[in-house]
Chains A and B, each alone.
Chain A
Amino acid sequence: MRGRPGFSTSPHEVRTAMTRATEEPLGGAPDADESLGDRAARAVLEFRDGRTDALTDLVREATPLLWHTVRAQGVDRDVADDVVQSTWAALVRHADTIAEPKAVLKWLLVTARRAAWETVRKGRADLRRRTELPDDLTEGSAALPDGGPGPEAEVLTDERDRILWSSLRRLPARCQELLRLVSLADRPDYKAISASIGMPVGSIGATRGRCLAKLRAVLTEQGEASWT
Chain B
Amino acid sequence: MSRKHENAWGAPVPGEDEPLDDRDVAVLERLGRAVRDVDPVPEGLVERSLFAMTLARLESEVMELQQIVAPAGSVRGDAPPLEARTITFTHERLTVMIALSADDDGTHVRLDGWVAPADTLAVELRQPGGERTTTADADGRFAFTAVDRGPSSLLVRLPGGGDVTVSTPVIEL
Contacts and interface: CB of A to CB of B under 8 A. Distances in A.
A165 B52 contact: no
A85 B9 contact: no
A145 B107 CA distance: 29
Interface residues of B, number: 68
B105 interface: no
B14 A85 contact: no
A156 B12 contact: no
Given A143-B72, A165-B38, A210-B13, A86 B169 contact: yes
Nearest to B59: A93
Nearest to B27: A227
B49 A11 contact: no
Nearest to B72: A143
Contacts of A209: 16
A187 B20 contact: yes
A55 B54 CA distance: 12
Interface stretch (B40-48, B138-146, B157-165): B40-48
Contacts of A71: 39
Interface string B35-66: 11111011001101111111111110010111
A210 B12 contact: yes
Contact of B55 (A89, A122, A227): A89
A217 interface: yes
Nearest to A63: B46
Contacts of A165: 34, 38
Given A213-B14, A217-B14, A183 B130 contact: no
Majority SS at the chain B contact face: mixed
A14 interface: yes
B128 A85 contact: no
Contacts of A84: 45, 49
Interface of B: 1, 7-9, 12-24, 26-39, 41-42, 45-46, 48-59, 62, 64-72, 75-77, 86, 126, 128-131, 169-170
Given A92-B57, A142-B72, A155-B37, A216 B23 contact: yes
Contact of B48 (A19, A81, A218): A81
Interface residues of A, number: 77
A200 interface: yes
A140 B69 contact: yes
Contact of A11 (B16, B54, B62, B65): B54
A54 B69 CA distance: 37
A156 B129 contact: no
Contacts of A14: 54, 57
B3 to A, nearest CB: 10
A68 B72 contact: no
Contacts of B45: 63, 67, 81, 84-85
B128 A180 contact: no
A146 interface: no
B8 A211 contact: yes
Interface in A74-106: 77-79, 81-82, 84-86, 88-93
